[in-house]
A and B are shown apart, each in its own frame.
Chain A
Amino acid sequence: MTAATPLPVPADPASEAPVTRAEKRKKRSSANRAATSLSSRTGSLVAIIMAVLWTTPTFGLLVTSFRTQADIQDTGWWNAFGQLDRWTLSNYDMAFNGGGDNATPMGDFFINSIVIAVPAVFLPLLLASLAAYAFAWIKFPGRDWLFVAVFALQIVPLQIALLPLATWFTRVGIGGTFWALWLSHTAFALPLAVYLLHNFMKEIPPSLLEAARVDGASHMRIFLQVLLPLITPALASFGIFQFLWVWNDLLVALTMLGGSPENAPITMELNQISGTLGNRWYLLSAAAFISISVPVVVFVFMQRYFVRGLLAGGTKG
C-alpha cells in the first residue's frame, strides 16, 4: 500500500506493535540460531507440489478437450500423449458453432456477455465504495448494526431473491432487458463488495482524513480527492472478482432474461451445448476453455492491481 499511494502516508502507530512483540520474542529465545526460511528449498518444493496438485485436474480437462468422445470414454486423458495423431479440434469446432449447424455464432454471445458484465461491475463498485466510506468514516446512529446486517445478508441464496426481483422488473417493463440483469447483479454483489471495501477503507490511517476534515473538506471532497486515489487498486481488484462472477453467471441470466434469448450471455449457450439430455457432455470440455479465456486474460492483464490491490491496507495488528 505504501508503495501504491501517491500521497505521503504517516507511519501507522498500530503497525509497530508486531515488531515489538517479535523483539520480545527474540530476546526470550536468546539464540541467534540459523533461521529456517520459508522461501528455502523446502518452501519452493511445497509451492511446486501445490501448483501441480491444483493445476493437474484442469490440465486433464484441457487435454480431454482435444480428444474424441470414444477416446475420452476408453482411456485416461494421459494416454493422449501416446496418440498425438488422434488429437482433434472437433470439440472446439462444435462448441464455437453452438453445437448445431444453424446455431447462433458464439460472437453474439460474447457481445451480450460483455454488455452484461461491464455495467454489472461498474454500478456495484460505485455504490459499494460510497457505502463502505460511510460505514468506515461517517458517524451515524446504528452504523455498526447496519454494517453487520449488510454483510450478513450475503447468506441469502440468490435463488430466493430472484423471483421477487423478476416480478418487479416485469411489472415496470424492464423484464428481459439488460437493465434487469445489471440491477440484479448489483443487488447481489453489494453485501460482499461493501464488506471487502469497508475492510480496506478502515485501514487507511485516520490522520489522513482528520487532517482534511480540519481543513473543512466535505465528505464528497475527501471521498473523491483522498479516498478514491488510495482505494483505486482495491476497486480494480474487486472489479475483477465481480467480473468473474458475472461472466460465469448462469442463474441470474436465466431468470432475468426469460423470454429474451437474443440477450443471452455465453454461459447460457455453454450450458445447453451438451444437448437436451446431456448426451454431448464431451463438448463441455472445449466450452469450458472457451469461456474461461476472457476471465483469465482479464486476470493476467490486471495482475498489477491484484498484487497491490485488495485489502492492501491490512496493516493493523
Chain B
Amino acid sequence: MPALAPTVSAADAASKFGTMFLGLAVFAAVFIGILLIASLFRGKYAEKAQAVAFAGPAILFIALGLLYPAILTIQRSFYSGKFFDLNAGLGNAKAKFVGFDNFQKLWTTPGLPEVFLNTLWWVLLVPSLATGFGLLYAVLVDKAKGEAVAKALIFLPMAISMVGATLIWKFVYYFNGEPGGVQIGLLNAMLTGVGINPHDFLGAFPWNTFFLIVIMIWIQAGFAMTVLSAAIKAIPDDIIEAARLDGVSGIQLFRYVTLPSIRSSLIVVLTTIAIATLKAFDIVQASSGGTLHDSVLANEFYRRSFVTQEPGLGAAIAIVIFLLVTPIIVFNVIQMRKDQA
C-alpha cells in the first residue's frame, strides 16, 4: 500500500481510534435515542409508532443501500452504454434505451446459455451438501471430547480470505499433463501414486464445474455446522432425556427429536447458503474466469458489468439472479405460514 507515513505514528493511531470511539458513541446515541422516542408514544398509535421506531432505521438502511440499487439495476437492464450510472451526467456518453435487447442477448451471446445450467448445479448442490455435511459433523462432534477444536477445523475455511482459498485449491487440483511429470497437486499425486493417469480437474469439461462446487461446499459447511451446532445445543435437555428414557437413541433420536427441533434453523441455513451461492463468483473468477465452460451467472454479471463494460447486459443477468431467488422466498413464506398456523 502507498506509504504516506513511513511508520505508525502514535498520534495517527490515536486519532484513528478516536474516530472509532466517536463512531461507536454516535451509533450508541442513535440507538438510545430511537428507544427513547419509541417509549414516548402511548395510546392508540403507540404500537405502530414503536414499530416504526424499531424497524424504521434498519429498513431505511436496506432501502437506500440495497433496494434503490436494485431498482436502478432494473432500469439499467433496458439501456445500452458503457457506464454503470445512467444519471451520472457524464459528458457525451449517453445511455440509449434498447428495450429487451439485453435480455435477448442472454440467449444469443455465445457461451451464455450454458451458464444457466452450471448455475443450476451450483444452487442445487452447494446448499444441500454444505448443510448436510455441516449437520452431520455438528451431530457427530456434539458433546465429544475436544469439540471446540474439532469445530474450529471445519470453521477454518470460512475464515480464510478468498485469495488464500484459491491458492489452497491450486495445490489440491494442480495438473501436470507431462507423462511422468511431477504432480504438485495433492489429488493427482495420489492418482499417479496408485498408477492412475492424472486428471485435469479444473480444465476438463464438464466435470470442472463440479470440482469448483466442491470448493464452495468446503467453505459453506463451516457456516452450516456452526449455526446447526448451536441449534442442537439449544434443544432442552429434558426433551432428550425423556426420549432416552423411552429407549430412543442414535439415528432414531436424531430423526425424531433433533431434526424436528432444528427445522427452522435448517431453513435459515439452507436459505442463506442458497443466496450466497447465487451471488458467489470469486471461485470461478479466480480459477479460469469462467472461460472453460464453467462460468456461473454471478461471474457473468460481474464480468459484463465491470470487465467488458456492458453494464446493461450485466444488469439483465442480475435480474435473472433476482428471479432465481423467488423459489427460495416462496419456500420461506410457506414455512412462515406453517409456523403461524
Contacts and interface: CB of A to CB of B under 8 A. Distances in A.
Do these two chains interact?
yes
B278 to A, nearest CB: 6
A290 B318 CA distance: 35
State the majority secondary structure of interface residues on B.
helix
Contacts of B275: 154-155
Given A134-B54, A309-B230, A32 B247 contact: yes
Given A54-B156, A144-B336, A272 B1 contact: yes
B168 A261 contact: no
A105 B231 contact: no
A13 interface: no
A76 B257 contact: no
Interface string B55-82: 1011101101111111011000000000
Given A76-B182, A130-B58, A310-B230, A61 B13 contact: no
A76 B186 contact: yes
A239 interface: no
Which of A109, A224, A269, A299 has the most CB atoms of chain B within a 10 A radius of its CB? A299
B167 A54 contact: no
B8 interface: yes
B158 A244 contact: yes
A86 to B, nearest CB: 15
A270 B164 CA distance: 10
Contacts of A203: 264
Contact of A182 (B23, B185, B261): B23
Given A119-B20, A138-B54, A219-B54, A186 B226 contact: no
B124 interface: no
A25 interface: yes
Interface residues of A, number: 155
Contact of B246 (A26, A118, A219, A268): A26
Nearest to A238: B227
B47 A76 contact: no
A15 to B, nearest CB: 6
A258 B104 CA distance: 35
B230 A188 contact: no
Given A32-B247, A57-B218, A191 B8 contact: no
Contacts of B332: 148, 151
Nearest to A237: B230
B107 interface: no
A231 interface: no
Interface in A162-194: 163-165, 167-168, 178-179, 182-184, 186-188, 190-192, 194
A187 B321 contact: no
Given A51-B154, A131-B54, A150-B59, 17 more contacts: A19-B243, A37-B249, A37-B250, A50-B137, A54-B156, A135-B55, A139-B47, A146-B59, A160-B70, A188-B65, A199-B265, A218-B39, A221-B39, A224-B35, A287-B163, A314-B264, A315-B261
B163 A140 contact: no
A316 interface: yes
Interface stretch (B112-120, B204-212, B234-242, B288-296): B234-242
A146 B332 CA distance: 13
A226 B158 CA distance: 33
Given A15-B236, A60-B171, A261 B1 contact: yes
Nearest to B301: A157
A47 B137 contact: yes
Nearest to B189: A76
Contact of A311 (B158, B161, B234, B237): B234
Which of A43, A58, A274 has the most CB atoms of chain B within a 10 A radius of its CB? A58
Contact of A153 (B67, B84, B162): B67
Please list the 7 inter-chain residue pairs (A to B) with the smallest Cβ-Cβ separation, ordered nearest first: A187-B65, A288-B164, A131-B58, A134-B54, A35-B249, A22-B256, A134-B55
Interface in A286-317: 287-289, 291-292, 295-296, 299-300, 303, 306-317
Contacts of A115: 16-17, 19-20
Contacts of A51: 137, 150, 153-154
